[in-house]
């Protein structure tokens, strides 16, 4: 019985690990998105500077 319980625990832990890895992937996707946003903002800033030069 105890052995079966331990195996069940191992399954739960591996599920937890998978969930954690999914979370980490989500965070890296979020980070990539955030960096993309930052890149977009700096491009926007450059556009504004170009406009200022034209004015």
Q: Which residue, chain included where needed, has tokens 């170009």?
A: 50
pLDDT at 33: 87
Residue whose tokens read 């926007």:
44
Of residues 23 and 54, more confidence is placed in 23
Greatest alpha-carbon pair distance for the chain in Å reads: 80
DSSP readout, 1-55?
-HHHHHHHHHHHHHHHHHHHHHHHHHHHHHHHHHHHHHHHHHHHHHHHHHHHHH-
Enumerate the domain spans of the chain.
25-55
Q: Which of 7, 37, 15 is closest to 23 using CA atoms?
A: 15
The confidence band for 50, taking pLDDT boundaries of 50, 70 and 90, is confident
Give per-residue pLDDT as tens, 8-44.
Answer: 888 888 888 888 888 888 888 888 888 888 888 888 8
């Amino acid at each position: 019985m105890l052995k079966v319980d331990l195996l069940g625990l191992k399954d739960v832990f591996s599920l937890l690990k998978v969930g954690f890895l999914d979370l980490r992937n989500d965070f890296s996707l979020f980070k990539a998105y955030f960096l993309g946003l930052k890149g977009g903002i700096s491009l926007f800033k450059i556009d504004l500077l170009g406009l200022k030069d034209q004015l």
